[in-house]
Chains A and B, each alone.
Chain A
Amino acid sequence: MAVDETLGGRGVRPSRAERALTQTAESDFTAFFRAEYARTARTVCLVLHDQARAEEITQDAFVQLLRCWEKVSGYEQPAAWVRRVAIRMAVRSAKRETMRSLLEWRSRAVEEPAEDLPLPHGDMVAAVRSLPTNQRVAIVLHYYEDRPVADIADALGCAPATARVHLYKARQRLALLLGEEGNDVVG
């Protein structure tokens, strides 16, 4: 960690013990980052369908983690903490982008695939991308992250019942677009 010497030596200079702890913490953080970054970034990328933005947001989440690493590293699942932060940031980003103007949003709604225009069989990428943000998040968290409905609700900032509706509607739409039966039990 950098030592602040810009105030004529009056900066807060870490002691030898603090420096040793800092080096250990940084080493732990580095190992953690190498283990968890890719998975977190992939989840965010599936939510946003924009790799550059997904990497930027994932890095933002890890910067937040670094700031409170001493505390979060003591948690039982620091990986869950950083993924939760990243997903919430991704959801906010996606909604900000989607809602940049309601006019755009209306256009998107109009452009959503009509019921009588099923996408080519197997085009899962296009089908998931066509979902509204809440539904896309619900699908990614449930089927890729294997998260329960309560976690989806937490990420979306809504009630579990609402998250279940998002998941249900997303499955219905995907079933329609992919020409599948959508009657499996979810949740």
Chain B
Amino acid sequence: MSLDDRLRADLAEMARTIDLTVEPALEAVLERGAGSDRRERMIPRVLAAAAALVLVFGTVAWLLSGREEKVHVTVGPPPPSGTYQAHLAGDLAGTWRIRFGASSMSVVAPDSRPLGTRVASAPYDARGGVLTTSLLSDGPCSGPGSYRWRAGGDRLRFEVVDDVCEVRVRLMTSAQWSPVRGAVLTDGTYLTPRLTPDRLRETAVAAGFADREVDELLGPLADATSVQYTLQISGGSWVVFEARDQDAPAVGWSGPYNVVDAATVVAGQPPCGPITYDYRYDGRQVRFVVVEDECREGGQTLPSGELFAQVTIYQSAAFTKVRP
């Protein structure tokens, strides 16, 4: 029997063993339905009474004030943009970043423990002061959540409007978010340590790749004991060299780049790009997280090998600056 057939048969058998009593449940539902019906009948009366009171007091106040009524049109604050970070405590301890793009937002976790992965992205909609997003719906959340945002000085704070996802609520509302500041990535040559295939495997699995995919995609490195990556940034050009064992470095990727701010660098251009990286740079070492990869060379969808390569190259270790 195949796995599919066995799943169908066993789940049906499991379901058959669940013993249910229908009549008591029916009585409970009818009773609760009747109760809610009574409550719902009361609500319009209460609302009508409240509305009448508001109308009376409003009219009196208007007559007493003798002022001309002004119509205010509420326009929400401008939607957030750029990259913000917050230091969270407890279960979510660490520095989190939220990045607002034109139509999508992303979150970069301090490490892969809280969410099972470093990055999550999703579309968002911000209007009338309320931001609605399905961020984390691929992981711990189900469905979208809505938040009201307030910007004061350079701080951004979210208040939950409607969200049943506890993790997202805590992430968004536990702290104030402030724009990322710090050293900006500069031209130079940056080098990873020698990375074993096992290290690359760990990185890929942590990023959500299945073991079988990793086996397949690591195939070209099967006979290597280590690999080292060099990133050369200079004159508007971003070049990655790969050196297997004692082989001479060979160009693995090259393209234009743009350092957006102290947290974001974008490399490549269509059809392979843009690729957005979150980075943390201390003037000596830089760590990257692949946030979005729009490399669609040769097709409409992102080749799994492309994302695998990006993740393993950039997220396996820090790059240390060896030459300015």
Chain A residues in the interface with B (C-beta under 8 A): 1-2, 4, 7, 11-12, 26, 30, 33-34, 37-38, 41-43, 45-46, 51, 55, 58-59, 62-63, 66-67, 88, 91-92, 95-96, 98-103, 105-106, 109, 115, 124-125, 128, 134, 139-140, 143-144, 156-158, 162, 168-169, 171-172, 174-175, 178, 180-182, 184, 186
Contact = CB atoms under 8 A, between A and B. Distances in A.
B36 to A, nearest CB: 6
Given A63-B36, A66-B30, A169 B210 contact: yes
A181 B212 CA distance: 13
B142 interface: yes
Contacts of B25: 33, 37, 41, 55, 58-59, 62
B28 interface: yes
B11 A144 contact: yes
Contacts, number: 143
B182 interface: no
B138 interface: yes
A33 B29 CA distance: 9
* Closest 7 pairs between A and B when the two form their complex, measured CB to CB: A157-B143, A102-B91, A66-B33, A124-B10, A144-B11, A42-B15, A180-B3
B114 A102 contact: yes
A96 B166 CA distance: 7
Contact of B11 (A46, A58, A59): A46
B41 A11 contact: yes
B33 A63 contact: yes
Contacts of B134: 157-158
B167 A174 contact: no
Contact of B20 (A26, A41, A63): A41
Contacts of B33: 63, 66-67
B110 to A, nearest CB: 12
